[in-house]
Amino acid sequence: MANLHVVVVTGLSGAGRSTALGVLEDLGFFCIDNLPPALAPEAVSMLAAEGERARLALGVDVRTGSFLTDAAAVLDDLTAQGHDIELVFLDCSDEVLVHRFSETRRPHALAPDGDVLEGIGRERERIAELRARARHVVDTTDMSVHDLRRAIVGHIARGGPGRSMTVRIVSFGFKHGAPVNADLVFDLRFLKNPHFVPELRPKTGIDPAVSAYVLEQEDTQRLLEHLVPMLSFLLPRYAEEGKAYLTIGIGCTGGRHRSVAVSEELATKLRTTYRGGDLVVAHRDKDRVKRT
């Protein structure tokens, strides 16, 4: 039976628990929000027995009352079983919480009469013990969603075995449309086109002759001299944001020659600098048959 890394995310309603769980899911955690209290130890045992998921995140708030009442005993028992229990408490100022509830028009669980501020006060009393036990207290008062994502990644990932960012380099032809999921797009239509060289036209950028024609151009070399350092700078920073996938679109007119050759060369160079995760290449339009 495997020992789990169990992250318990709790705190004040409206402080960002759902966002935090979403980040943990991106990091490879199996996430369960508001699991019935009696099932929490059973869920841990079941996942530990499978041995496939070594990381579990549980969302706990005032709606799971009996868990809050017995929180200390539950956490101590799981720790005694050898699991790494990490409690993250999300705090926030009363003023900001009231404003968030007014914006969403969502009722506070402990304010059935509509007095949100009074409900927040009751909630602070009920979860005071969990706050005292927390390994990490994150104040989201002045945080955006992106700030909270960075904080969770910083506290939990810590350069450990979480899901790394997968980088996809996709070659494509602008005549067929840019990839809708591309995060970054670079246009290579300024490079000399092998399409206008009769012996190269039927080949693709994978062919050594086409690749050499494209890569030996001075403009191609200058492009790579700028592009590789820029992406080497950007990729780790996207990963630090907790991004699970990053798609880089490399486009030319038809997606068969220039974009293919440069995508392959770019991937080769980036693999020597990017250590954050997988880097794969896909050629969306390489094998499209030209219509006459």
- Whether this model's pTM surpasses 0.75: no
- Per the DSSP assignment, residues forming a β-bridge with 10 are 89
CB atoms within 10 A of CB 187: 14
Taking alpha carbons only, the member of 168, 163, 159 closest to residue 243 is: 163
Q: Provide the H-helix boundaries in 82-157.
A: 94-104, 116-126, 128-133, 145-152
Domain boundaries, position 176: 166-283
Tell me: do 12 and 150 sit in the same domain.
yes
**Pair of tokens at residue 32:** 């369960």
Tell me: do 14 and 102 sit in the same domain.
yes
User: Residue 209: what pLDDT?
Assistant: 97
219 within some domain: yes
Tell me: do 108 and 251 sit in the same domain.
no
CATH number at residue 13: 3.40.50.300
Tell me: do 145 and 173 sit in the same domain.
no
Q: How many domains, in total, are found in the chain? A: 2
Whole-number Cα distances in Å, 45 to 37, 56, 80, 83, 98: 14, 11, 13, 10, 38
**Pair of tokens at residue 88:** 């993250």
Tell me: do 135 and 226 sit in the same domain.
no
Tell me: do 129 and 174 sit in the same domain.
no
Taking alpha carbons only, the member of 28, 273, 292 closest to residue 153 is: 28
Tell me: do 32 and 69 sit in the same domain.
yes
Q: What is the pLDDT along the chain (292 residues), one digit of tens a residue?
A: 567 888 889 899 889 999 999 988 888 888 988 876 667 788 888 877 776 556 888 888 776 666 566 777 788 888 888 888 888 999 998 888 888 887 766 777 676 666 878 888 888 888 888 888 888 888 898 888 888 888 888 776 544 444 567 899 999 999 999 987 789 999 999 999 999 999 999 999 999 999 999 999 999 999 999 999 999 999 988 887 767 778 999 999 999 999 999 999 999 999 988 876 789 899 999 988 654 3
